[in-house]
């Protein structure tokens, strides 16, 4: 049975409105029961203050440490969050590094290491700007907050779609810690732990360590090598030192690092069935690929920050200085098969015109950030935040092509260098007009400038007379003012209504993939305007809460990425407009003290609005459904949805626990769903991803006064397999989701 999108929207609004109007009666009925089993208050720092999530006029979902533990069992990367929050999706063509985030369908499919994203990733108040920084593993984390819509006032220039914000567990003056070890399918091993303690002189410290391992389990059918790919070893650590003696000065110092050594993601040749958006049964086998090229991935990352605070009475002065650096290299067999029938006599699986084996490396990278802000803490109805932010990034990128069919040596080499400097002045204020009404406003002035160069010293097409080119320079810069306005109304102690309008800004982007092209593309700045309104309600005397909002947004001069096509040339372009609209629903309920239910539902409808925008079509034979463009081989994309933008995302977590004489037994189940997606800007039957759903399960036993926990878990237990990404190149190449895994875990908590 199919349910229309209109039916979903109508039924959701009806449910939320009914729940809001019935809020008081629910509370009265529940007051006759006991006070046990109430939902805990959720505190977030979306406004750079600690506030109750129900009081903030922004669409926010917060994942607790318990929810993160459930959905990240095994050895996942950051993509474990994909679809787990309403209107949040995450994908990657680089595997465990370089994740791409989308909020409300709004993201960036560009796979260049220089790509900018409209979703910002912030860890412990430090922005992780380069996409290679965004894959740092999640462990010993207090919560993850997803802020939807532009956050251009308090957080900056590249946040027009929203923010994913991670807060680690901080040191305290008490002693605590944990140890967790698991073992599962494919010899997956995960060991993590943390220990924190305080000292008599106001100092405290916390050390957190993570190690993950997976064996190779995918065979190479071309060479006959067994268990050749998909294995990795990954280390990560974090050390924090805090000072707080109860006086006017506080400090927090952080050092963190990561090392990854493993396989790049596996591209699979011709796994898409011609004329249909599904896997090709003739060429698909999850545990076999046919590679004649190499596949490897390495990354080292190091960073740290110092947060200093001075209590000035009614004001708090905060300084946050951050540093991040990385060194990364990823090499893969991009054509996903062997041979090239335009060059040699044999190729496969299926028809592969010519070989494609490339690598991207970032041998040099550094990022410095500095924020200074002053925060008021008045007893009266008016409070504010004001500050200054500075950003400095410098990196080099090496892009290499390999002659797979003739010894595997380098036959293409491109160098990119970019320096980015940005600064901003920002302010935000809130005003309690009465006990029921509150107004909020924020403004930010941002300036961004880039100094870029790219040079090709060796061309893969040298046999056609194509030679070196460059250096080619680009130095875009821009300054913009972004702002937001909000109003909230407390209907009663249980129900808050809010409305918000906000603007966002993404600085100019540069794309310099010169291996197969001779030009550097520069996209102008994009700006966004978002309107949203919603309700945040506490029901059943604190045993349930529901947050719901409607939104609509417009992106002007939207930065899009035209990937691949017949010319195999990537470039950033500007579309006149992109429009999106939809809703988010977050529901949490504890119907009994033993049972907690968390549910989210997101709906987004996106459309590209540009009558004249055309992009190159398929690099492989495919069935394009868009009208042809003005240039042969191009197609008009007006009216198309954004790539990687599902209309529906939904997630459910059920947590049941029962006390017994010797401890507790529990069952936790989770489910995620995302609807169909387009992989590229134009629409083709083959380049549409089918809907995807995955189910997870954990069954466990806690004993020893809750200090010990033994459980078994499963991920993707229905073993659902779908094509989740495509390479628009010379064959119908795709990437599949992770297979079903099982495991056992032991945890000890201090």
Asked if residue 508 lies in contact with residue 394, where contact means CB atoms within 8 angstroms, the answer is no
- What per-residue confidence (pLDDT) applies to 730? 82
Please name the residue that has the structure tokens 């995620």.
Answer: 672
Question: Beta strand pairing status for 119-123 and 162-168?
Answer: parallel
Question: Beta strand pairing status for 219-220 and 288-289?
Answer: parallel
pLDDT in tens, 276-324: 999 998 888 999 999 999 999 999 999 999 999 999 999 999 999 999 9
* pTM for the whole structure: 0.94
Angle in degrees, CA 626, 107, 261, rounded to 5: 115
Whole-angstrom CA distances from 54 to 24, 588, 609 are 17, 12, 35
pLDDT in tens, 639-676: 999 999 999 999 999 999 999 999 999 999 999 999 99
Q: Is 35 exposed, middle or buried (0-12, 13-18, 19+ CB in 10 A)?
A: exposed
In 3D, which of 459, 442, 541, 426 has the Cα closest to residue 500? 442
Label residue 705 left, alpha or beta by phi (over 0 means left) and psi (-120 to 50 means alpha): left
Q: What angle in degrees, to the nearest 10, is found between the helix axes of 5-21 and 23-30?
A: 60
What are the residues whose beta carbons fall under 8 Å from the beta carbon of 715, sequence distance 6 or more? 73, 74, 76, 694, 696, 738, 740, 741
- Write down the domain spans for the chain: 5-194+202-210+217-471+494-749
- What per-residue confidence (pLDDT) applies to 565? 60
Sign of dihedral through CA atoms 702, 703, 709, 715? negative
Q: How far apart are the first and last CA of the chain?
A: 49
- What per-residue confidence (pLDDT) applies to 244? 96
Q: Which residues of the chain have pLDDT under 50?
A: 1-4, 6-35
- What per-residue confidence (pLDDT) applies to 666? 97
* Yes or no: domain 5-194+202-210+217-471+494-749 corresponds to CATH 2.40.170.20: yes
């Amino acid at each position: 049975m199919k349910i229309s999108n209109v039916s979903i929207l109508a039924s959701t609004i009806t449910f939320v409105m009914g729940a809001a109007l019935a809020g008081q009666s629910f509370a009265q009925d529940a007051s006759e029961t006991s006070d046990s089993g109430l939902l805990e208050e959720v505190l977030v720092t979306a406004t750079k203050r600690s506030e109750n999530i129900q009081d903030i006029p922004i669409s926010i979902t917060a994942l607790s440490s318990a929810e993160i533990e459930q959905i990240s069992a095994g050895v996942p990367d950051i993509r474990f969050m994909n679809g787990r929050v309403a209107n949040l999706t995450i994908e990657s063509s680089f595997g465990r590094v370089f994740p791409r985030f989308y909020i409300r369908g709004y993201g960036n499919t560009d796979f260049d290491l220089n790509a900018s994203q409209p979703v910002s990733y912030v860890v412990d108040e430090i922005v992780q700007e380069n996409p290679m920084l965004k894959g740092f593993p999640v462990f010993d984390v207090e919560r993850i907050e997803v802020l939807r819509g532009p956050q251009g006032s308090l957080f900056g220039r590249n946040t027009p779609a929203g923010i994913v914000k991670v807060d680690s567990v901080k040191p305290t003056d008490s002693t605590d810690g944990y140890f967790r070890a698991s073992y599962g399918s494919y010899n997956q091993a995960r060991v993590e732990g943390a220990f924190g303690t305080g000292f008599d002189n106001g100092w405290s410290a916390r050390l957190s360590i993570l190690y993950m391992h997976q064996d190779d389990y995918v065979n190479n059918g071309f060479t006959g090598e067994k268990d050749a790919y998909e294995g990795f070893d990954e280390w990560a650590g974090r050390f924090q030192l805090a000072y707080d003696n109860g006086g006017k000065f506080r400090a927090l110092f952080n050092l963190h690092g990561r090392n990854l050594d493993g396989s790049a993601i596996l591209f699979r040749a011709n796994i898409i069935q011609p004329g249909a958006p599904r896997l090709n049964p003739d060429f698909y086998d999850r545990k076999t690929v046919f590679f004649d090229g190499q596949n490897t991935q390495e990354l080292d990352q190091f960073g740290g920050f110092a947060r200093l605070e001075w209590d000035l009475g009614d004001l708090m002065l905060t300084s946050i200085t951050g540093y991040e650096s990385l060194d990364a290299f990823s090499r893969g067999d991009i054509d996903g098969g062997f041979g090239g029938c335009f060059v040699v006599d044999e190729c496969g699986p299926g028809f592969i015109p010519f070989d494609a084996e490339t690598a991207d490396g970032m041998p040099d990278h550094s990022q410095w950030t500095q924020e200074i802000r002053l925060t008021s803490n008045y007893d009266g109805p008016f409070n504010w935040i004001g500050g200054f932010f500075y950003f400095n990034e410098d990196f080099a990128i090496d892009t290499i092509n390999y002659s797979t069919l003739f010894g595997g040596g380098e036959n293409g080499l491109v160098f990119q260098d970019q320096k980015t400097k940005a600064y901003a002045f920002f302010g935000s204020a809130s005003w309690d007009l009465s006990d029921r009404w509150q107004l909020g406003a924020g403004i930010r002035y941002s300036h961004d400038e880039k100094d870029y160069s790219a040079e090709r010293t060796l061309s893969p097409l040298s046999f056609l007379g194509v030679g070196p080119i460059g250096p080619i320079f680009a130095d875009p810069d821009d300054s913009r003012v972004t702002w937001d306005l909000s109003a909230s109304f407390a209907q009663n102690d249980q129900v808050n209504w809010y409305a918000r309008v906000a603007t966002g800004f993404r600085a100019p982007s540069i794309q310099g993939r010169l291996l197969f092209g001779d030009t550097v593309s520069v996209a102008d700045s994009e700006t966004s305007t978002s309107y949203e309104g919603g309700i945040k309600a506490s029901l059943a005397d604190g045993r349930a809460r529901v947050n719901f909002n409607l939104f609509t947004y417009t992106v002007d001069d939207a930065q899009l990425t035209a990937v691949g096509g017949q010319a195999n040339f990537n470039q950033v372009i500007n579309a006149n407009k992109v429009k999106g609209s939809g809703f988010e629903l977050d529901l949490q309920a504890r119907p009994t003290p033993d049972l907690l239910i968390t549910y989210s539902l997101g709906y987004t409808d996106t459309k590209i609005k540009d009558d004249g925008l055309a992009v190159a079509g398929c690099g492989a034979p495919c069935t394009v459904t868009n009208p042809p463009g003005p240039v042969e081989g191009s197609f008009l994309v007006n009216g198309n949805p954004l790539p990687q933008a599902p209309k529906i995302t939904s997630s459910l977590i059920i947590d049941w626990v029962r006390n017994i004489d010797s401890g507790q037994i529990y069952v936790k189940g989770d489910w995620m769903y995302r609807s169909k997606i387009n992989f590229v800007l134009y629409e083709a039957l083959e380049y549409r991803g089918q809907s995807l759903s995955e189910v997870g399960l954990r069954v466990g036993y806690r004993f020893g006064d809750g200090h010990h926990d033994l459980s078994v878990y499963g991920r993707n237990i229905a073993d659902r397999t779908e094509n989740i990404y495509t390479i628009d190149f010379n064959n119908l190449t795709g990437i599949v989701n992770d297979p079903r895994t099982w495991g056992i875990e032991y945890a000890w908590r201090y």
